[in-house]
Structure 1
Amino acid sequence: MTTKTVTDTHAAVITDRSQLIESFARGEKPRDRWRIGTEHEKFVYSTRDLHAPSYDEPGGIRDLLTGLTEFGWRPIEEGGNVIALAGPDGTISLEPAGQFELSGAPLDNLHQTCAEAARHLEQVKAVGDKLGLGFLGLGMWPDKARADLPLMPKGRYQIMLRHMPRVGTLGLDMMLRTCTIQVNLDYSSEADMAKKFRVGLALQPLATALFANSPFTERKPNGFLSFRSHIWSDTDPARTGMLPFVFEDGFGYERYADYALDVPMYFVYRDGTYIDAAGLSFRDFLEGKLSALPGELPTLDDWNDHLSTAFPEVRLKTFLEMRGADGGPWGRICALPALWVGLLYDDGALDAAWDMVKDWSMEEREALRNAVPKLALDAPIPGGGKLRDIAGEVLDIAAAGLSARARLNSSGDNETGFLEPLRDIVRTGKVPAQVLLDKYAGPWDGNVCKIYEETRF
């Protein structure tokens, strides 16, 4: 999820539907201005007894945020509580149960991205060591029930927590018990956006498989390799899924705007307060008929807020978000943007990736997406075989794309080395969750809490 920087200023009032479509066009950038924005979440726990700290307790989440101001981060408040931080490395924010997220700055290359992640982890570990807090790189809490988890003092989350059980059985798990890695990428035109969206959506199951890292629920194997991915299948069908229309002729900004208009609302932000609009229609808002704010028209800020409440596998704002990966350790934080930058930021790689997936039917794409949470690389692919059969080829395409970019560090290395953690997974044939399950059945002797020693940052 993204975090709203809380202010009392609002963009211009929307007076015409064309403004919604133009909001996507404003994201267009020439190739030399394409950037990489990496987001990664981690679980926070007490090193004393492994509990998830609350916001207010001594040494809890508020103290963690406050401690980070020593590194130059500036506090962002809501309702008198510090709920986020801003700085040159982007924004630090809180997920509903205190999952700690860095939404990184837009950077030119993966060397910068990896350095940014390293700085962030060094800082949170320095503050965490003082407070007795540790940080866990997984896709889902391995041992915590919903009732074990605290709630953060953020108004939008209170609205979502009330609404989620009305539309699905696993939405609260999504909010409270999961972590992800995500990368945000640019496009040059509507056609470029559409092609990147299609490739990203079709190959998102491969990213889910390679990063599958959530095999435990409440101390036991849950039958999945990425339970985090499975959770999205029963969160809210009106705002999740593979978006078949993306693969239809004519897909572009207008069609995505129509989709977003049909996503039910969660809230409207006004004067420091989140107003509950859960289940209401943004189309009604455009006509001044929103029952939560009768007679009022939306602003572009409202539209941007609303776009952040759709949760498909790939999401469009003024950039494209790749959203399929479980949270994981430091090396995989760098590997996810390497995969997608390699595939999407070089024309030859983008064409090669599209050639791999363009003939898949929508039914085949849906079947692959639905199989991956349980089977990961063993999921069947269109035309026969398993996902593992094309994983190496996709990584080769990504490596060629990264090599063509020729972004070198001070040692003269290009960006292809950041794919190495994924190469290891393909070589061994085991995704991260399978490695954890082997340890659970072997040296851990069924004690899932050993995972804290294995996966902490």
Structure 2
Amino acid sequence: MSTRTVSNHNDPIIEDRSQLAEPMAKGEKPRDRWRIGTEHEKFVYRQADFRAPSYDEKGGIHDLLMGLTRFGWEPVMEGGHVIALAGADGTVSLEPAGQLELSGAPLENLHQTHDETARHIEQVKAVGADLGLGYLGLGMWPDKTRDALPIMPKGRYGIMLKHMPRVGNLGLDMMLRTCTIQTNLDYGSEADMVQKFRTSLALQPIATALFASSPFTEGKPNGYQSYRSHIWTDTDPQRTGMLPFVFEDGFGYDRYVDYMLDVPMYFVFRDGQYIDAAGQSFRDFLKGELPALPGELPHLSDWNDHLSTAFPEVRLKSFLEMRGADGGRQDQIAALPAFWVGLLYDQGPLDAAYDLVKHWTIEQQQQLRDAVPRDGLSAAAPDGGPVRDLAQQVLEIAAQGLAARNVVNAAGEDESRYLAPLRSIVASGKSPAAEYLERYHGKWQQDLSHVYKELSF
């Protein structure tokens, strides 16, 4: 989640509704300025007993963050606590229960993404070796109860943790027990944004199936391949889901603004503090009638904050965020942006991918979204046959898109090399979750301590 560091009193006050589309419109870039942003989270555990460390304990999360400063990272403070790090490779930040995230820099190609990821993993492992910490690559804690997990000292998380149980049954699990890989991508125009949004939203369940890695809850199989994805269906219906309006005629920036105005607020950030506005309306804020700040009008930074508090399968800010994938192994981190860059950054593959989905009804899209968390690659695709077959088609299109970019590394390999983990998954017909369930019932002998030996970074 976003890390706010300053109150922007000098940024524009929103005096007209037309200003609300500005962040999206200003995201338009010519093709040669399109970039790739990759975010990935990992679970932190103590190697001695697999416990999730607290923020303040010796060798805990604070010490981990400070240990990373040896690599040039600069601390970001909130309320007297180090809650993030800023550096050339983006931002290192904390999720609510201490999950460690790298929000990478906007990069030109996937070879750079691969190198950025490798640097980050090398750095956190070096600090972890000193502190006795390890890092687990899964979509959900396989063995931890909510009560066993610490809470990080970030103001927005306190507000959200209080609000989540009011609007859904699994929101606390989303915050405390899950990890994801995400990709942020650019668009050239409003029309380009619309085509990319529709294509990626319809195909988001394919990414969910390929990256599914959350089959365990509190030490036992939970009946899902991506329980993380299932969690989002009972988190907060007003800010999650498949967004059917994206496929309606006339969709564009203004329609997304309407959606965001209907999403209830969480907070307002002022003078380094988060003010609780949970459940209140940004429409009231525009009229100076927000109960949390009566008489005050919002700044553009308040709207940008609000844009970060909706959690649909694809999210629009000044770029498009792909949000369907579980956290996973190191080789899967570059695979997610490879998947989406291959589909969305060359017009021919984008058209081909859109042709696959443009005739799907809203009901078919929702059925796919509902089936994949449980059934993974064996779920039924809208055109018949298993998702595995559809995933194979989509991967072929993505490979064509990456080949068309023709960006090679020192060994002469183009970016399609990063699809290799996904090709292996489709060839086997087994998501990572299905593979882990086989191990659980086989050589692990139902002992999940093996995940720490085999699935750590």
TM-score where L is the length of structure 1: 0.99
335-344 or 13-22: bigger deviation: 13-22
Kept in 2: contact 1:75–1:82 (CA 8 A)? yes
Alignment match, 2:226 = 226
In 1, Cα distance between equivalents of 2:407 and 2:360: 33
Give 1:397's aligned residue: 397
User: Aligned equivalents of 2:204 and 2:210: distance in 1?
Assistant: 10
Alpha-carbon offset, residue 8 of structure 1:
5.5
Does 2:96 align with 1:102? no
Q: Secondary structure at the match of 2:449?
A: helix
The alpha-carbon deviation at position 268 of structure 1 amounts to: 0.2
Q: CA deviation at 1:22?
A: 1.8
Query: For residues 176 and 352 of structure 1, what CA distance do their matches in structure 2 show?
Result: 38
Structure 2 partner of 1:135: 135
Tell me which residue corresponds to 2:374: 374
Partner of 2:35: 35
Separation (CA, whole Å) in 1 of partners of 2:147 and 2:9: 37
Match of 1:93 in 2: 93
Aligned to 2:158: 158
What residue number does 2:418 align with?
Answer: 418
- Is 1:285 paired with 2:285? yes
Structure 2: distance between partners of 1:10 and 1:208: 41
Letter in 2 for 1:243: L
The sequence identity of aligned pairs, in percent, is 70
- Matches of 1:103 and 1:260, distance apart in 2: 23
Output the CA distance in 1 between the equivalents of 2:305 and 2:21. Answer: 15
Where does residue 20 of structure 1 map in the other structure?
Answer: 20
Find the counterpart in structure 2 of residue 326 from structure 1. Answer: 326
1:245 equivalent to 2:245? Answer yes
Equivalences for residues 291-330 of structure 1 within 5 A: 291-330=291-330
Counterpart for residue 236 of structure 1: 236
- What value does the CA root-mean-square deviation take over the aligned residues? 0.7
Q: 1: distance between equivalents of 2:138 and 2:293?
A: 40
1:309 Cα deviation from its structure 2 partner: 0.4
* 2: CA distance, partners of 1:86 / 1:74: 5
CA distance in 2 between counterparts of 1:339 and 1:384 reads: 23
CA, structure 1 residues 70+405, in 2 after alignment: closer, same or farther (shift >3 Å)?
same
Gap runs ≥5 in structure 1: none
Cα distance in 2, alignment partners of residues 406 and 257 from structure 1: 36
TM-score normalised to structure 2 length: 0.99
Note closer, same or farther for the CA distance 1:12–1:327 as it changes in structure 2 (3 Å cut): same
Compute the displacement of 1:383 (Å): 2.6
Q: How much does 1:9 deviate? A: 4.6
2-structure distance, mates of 1:149, 1:130: 22
* DSSP 3-state at the match of 1:448: coil
The answer as to whether partners of 2:399 and 2:416 remain within 8 angstroms in 1 is yes
Residue matched to 1:115: 115
CA drift of 1:454 comes to 1.1
Residues 87-113 of structure 1 show CA distances to partners (whole Å, capped at 9, x for unaligned) of 000000000000000000000000000
The answer for unaligned runs of 5 or more in structure 2 is: none
Q: Secondary structure at the match of 2:298?
A: coil
Structure 2 distance, partners of 1:256, 1:59, is 44
Change in Cα spacing, 1:9 to 1:456, as seen in structure 2 (3 Å) is: farther
Q: Is the 8 A contact 1:134 1:456 kept in 2?
A: yes
Is residue 93–residue 101 contact of structure 1 (8 Å, CA) maintained in 2?
Answer: yes
Is the Cα–Cα contact under 8 Å of residues 140 and 214 in structure 1 kept in the other structure? yes
The count of aligned residue pairs is 457
Query: Is the contact between residue 194 and residue 251 of structure 2 (CA under 8 Å) also seen in structure 1?
Result: yes
